Structure 1
Amino acid sequence: RVVDTLRPHRVAAARKRTAEALADGLVETASGHVTVTDLGERLYRAASALDANAPLAESLRDLATAYETATGKTAALEQLYAKLPAGTTRPAVAAALADVADDPDEAYREYEAVRVTLEKEGDALEADGLDIPAVAALLLMNHDESDVDEFIDVYKANRSRGHEPGEAVEYALAGLTDDTEISRVRRQADKLGLPVSITVALLRRRDDGPEVYRGLLDELAGHGPSGETLRTIAGILAVSLEPAQAVRRWVEARQALTDLGLEGSYADVAAAFGASDGRGPKRFALSYAAQRQALARSSIDDADRFAPELAHEGTSRQTDTWTGRPIPRGLYDFDPFTLFFYHWVITGGRSGSYGWEPIYRDQSWSQNRGSWWGGGGGFGGTGRGGGS
């Protein structure tokens, strides 16, 4: 009898909650209040990245394709995340592996082989507090899964010369083994204000690398970036085959992301991915928006941070971002864009810490996950809180 007495109150309370939820989702239009469907909300939020002159049916197809790809990558990320051990870099490693191969199981098998070798033979890395899963993912991204023993030997040699753990990883990745060469590159890196690995890529890919870099530095400075973020983006763009075009594309990508509401240092770096995407900045922005919404529905909060890499068409399958060709085997060759993974994750130098401070101080990417971006706007009320 008590239950029967309470049931009407429970029903009333449930109806009230349902009504409130529906009211929160209503949007006022010229035709009155309407409820926005999931597809409608995705279309609304990604509108700036779609061709305004295209027929609606075409825009819907483009949006559906982008979202299907994004949900596939998110599913792969979640599948990989579930297999990885708990740790600070777990979302980053899962995001990296999601782009290594079409089959998540294949990516995980290759990663596990590298990780096991590092843990078995790389006692020096563990003793230095480096995050073994992150280093394993970095090597796999750069097609160095067959060079793990050499990497460990070079790392140990560089540590014995007094270099810090994070530096020793960077030098080993770049194939820097000679102390004289390391000193020469470090002097140039200090002069340019760049990380050693980006300096190495710059010097190896272009005879006029430093001059091109300085020109891009001046040009980019007029578009907002500053400090370390400015220098790193200029360095990455200077490594491209057509730096002048890369800067133009960076500006276009940055504007496309701004139109989506993304801002801050994170957006500056995300635009560097957009600049190198062969589909063009608008297509990259659409993929980024779709990827953010797909990740917003994931239980892996911090994976949102890596949406630019997942959305990018080139940073996958161990291929060079700029050329689209497979990265040659060997520590000497690496994709400059995987250095963002290095800076985001490994340069903190120790397990339990993150790296690149300009990015990790900028939390604009993480606000209101359900809105896909950090600039507010949209219908509101859909976010579940930012990752941390």
Structure 2
Amino acid sequence: MTGATPRVQNSVLHLQLVDRVDRTPPSLTTRQSPSVVVDLGGGRYGIFITSKHLQASDPDSPMEELEFSITRPPHFGYLENALTGAYIRGRFTQQDVDQRTLVFVLPADMEVTADSFQFLLTDPAGNTALPEILELSWSRVELSATCYRTCETAGTLQIQIQRNGKSADPAYVAIQVEEGSAKPGRDFTHSTAGLIQFDPGVSVKTWNIYLIDDGLEENHETFTVTLKNPKNAILGQRTSASVEIIDPRGGRCDPDDLRVEDDEKRLPAPPRLPDPPRPEKEEEVEDPVTDIEAELLWENQPPPPRGDVPNRRPYLDYGLQDPQDQAASSYSQIYYPSRQLPGTDWEVRQQLVS
């Protein structure tokens, strides 16, 4: 009797592949306050926000796809894409930051030296990190007064230049004399330095005027001192000052002649937002640079094209709706004009009539 052949049953293994669900939100590995001011051209100044200031990471997503959604825009200035000239209203990406196309345009005609905006960091899967705030700061340079009166026999008149705001970095400003009835070399001389340098931490510098006493009886004479071309700073309101040399009568100057009458006390005009940028022909943006001196060289580059900036009021909150980018002074009297600033979230120095 032949034995029966055993039956062999094949086993089938079923494997089911399940995609892992990305539930990990991205994180912010770098958040530094940018402060290097560059000249954007056309009377505009800005601060570039680069990967030195904002760097995000996510284990499940390419870094260039990570997105920064703006939930509260800057209070005073605005964000702009330096490559396209578009006004950034709602979002930008890590790639924009890495390519150095994100620039904060400083507010014009406003005596503030700090601003900030709030954002949410999101990955392609929709995972969102907690809200973050990026603060920006800069410095403002100006003269200490708009009018100086000094006696011809005073010898030296010190012109004071002040820096307010961020002072951790060096800053520079050019100073020059524009002659009037008082002539250089005949009625006065001045310091040979044409560039005022503020070292880190320094907020006040002086520039000397040396008066020439010719012993002649003559009329009072005037000339003007002006600040121009700031580097890593912006100019304040007092960029020019008149200097009046009072002629001594009887060997001395009358104190009444040296007194500067205050102008009528008036509140300054309310601050306004920057005018909308105007579109221009696109130009190439240079590769990123890292050190401060090299950053300042950017001001010599042609200005980027401008997009249209829609009218908006300060403190506008865009909320969490789906945002979209849109195209784009011895015998001297000094006059300190009155100045009153609107209240802000930052400490802004208020200069009063002395």
**TM score, norm. by length of structure 1:** 0.21
- Structure with the higher strand share, 1 or 2: 2
Structure whose alpha-carbon radius of gyration is higher: 2
